Amino acid sequence: MSFFANAAEVDCYVGGVLRLAAIDPCLGPQLAEASLNLRLVCSDPPACLTVGLFDPVAVGLSDDPMTVDVELACEADFLDGYFRGRHNLVEALARGEVVARGRVSKVLKLIPVIEQTFPYYRRIIAVKDRAAFTAPGAPS
């Protein structure tokens, strides 16, 4: 069973952390400096996040077939693990867990910036983690 229930949750948490980073006075300008359109295509649950790394940074669910500079395809659970700091994007690309199309080198340059969002992600995902832990029928 996937950690995320649906595309809206992928947007809420993964998109949410990117939106928080966009308004961070340090991270926002670094993200905008990338000047690229990124698409994150997830499976289980299916979701498609489009991230415009320009000034201003824009993040949203989109099935728009617009041309993007880079597309990364993976399971939604990979993104959860990545933003928790449990997965390495470069290794996942090498193993085929993440399939990339386009100018991947531009995304690789963003890894140090994205890694700085991990504490934000852990804070916003903590609410979902607590709810899952205390749900009826959850192991105690």
Is the pLDDT score of 140 beyond 50? no
Q: What is the C-alpha to C-alpha distance for residues 127 and 68, in angstroms, rounded to an integer?
A: 32
User: pLDDT tens digit string along 93-103?
Assistant: 999 999 999 99
Share of the chain above pLDDT 90, in %: 84
User: pLDDT tens digit string along 11-23?
Assistant: 999 999 999 999 9
User: pLDDT tens digit string along 104-131?
Assistant: 999 999 999 999 999 999 999 998 777 7
- CATH superfamily of this structure's domain 7-130: SCP2 sterol-binding domain (3.30.1050.10)
Q: What is the C-alpha to C-alpha distance for residues 89 and 59, in angstroms, rounded to an integer?
A: 20
The residue assigned the tokens 């790394």 is: 53
Residue 66, pLDDT score: 79
- Listed in sequence order, the DSSP H helices in the chain are 7-10, 16-23, 27-32, 76-83, 89-95, 104-115, 118-134
Q: What is the C-alpha to C-alpha distance for residues 92 and 4, in angstroms, rounded to an integer?
A: 20
